[in-house]
Amino acid sequence: MSSPRNHIIQCPQCGARGEFIVWDSVNPSVTPNLKDKIISGELFQWKCPQCGRVWDINYPMLYHDMPNRQLIEFRPTPDDQPRDTRPNPLYAAFIRNGYTIRYAYTLEELIAMVKG
Ligand SMILES: [Zn+2]
């Protein structure tokens, strides 16, 4: 249930284009290496193939930890923006099945939750 999509990113510094893989959802039971890439921050970084500069690209993602019955929804929100703390109604069935639902608003919060 880990689902990648390819995006083309243009470097704001030099204008070169390169591929960036966006994961809408990550299931660590299926792709354990992605858990490590979240914890290292690599999943949300794009390195320009030309000038080598690394850019932080935080995007919404769902972390679905089945053995621990845990969902973490990443809702990246800049510090100066209000946080959308409304629960996602799509998860009602998960809650009925004993899942814990959490929301992370910064990469630091997401990393702390994924580490457990
Ligand atoms: Zn560049």
Within 10 angstroms of residue 6's Cβ, the number of other Cβ atoms is 8
- Which amino acid appears at position 78 of this protein? P
**Angle in degrees, 0-180, between the axes of helices 107-115 and 32-40, rounded to the nearest 10:** 140
* Total of domains in the chain: 1
What pTM value is reported for the model? 0.92
Q: Which domain holds residue 68?
A: 3-115
pLDDT digit string (tens) for 18-48?
Answer: 999 999 999 999 999 999 999 999 999 999 9
The pLDDT assigned to 46 comes to: 97
Alpha-carbon distance of 28 to 9, in angstroms, equals 26
pLDDT digit string (tens) for 56-105?
Answer: 999 999 999 999 999 999 999 999 999 999 999 999 999 999 999 999 99
CA 7 to ligand 1 centroid distance, Å: 16
CA 8 to ligand 1 centroid distance, Å: 13
CA 31 to ligand 1 centroid distance, Å: 29
Give the pLDDT band of residue 3 (cuts 50, 70, 90).
confident
Within 10 angstroms of residue 48's Cβ, the number of other Cβ atoms is 19
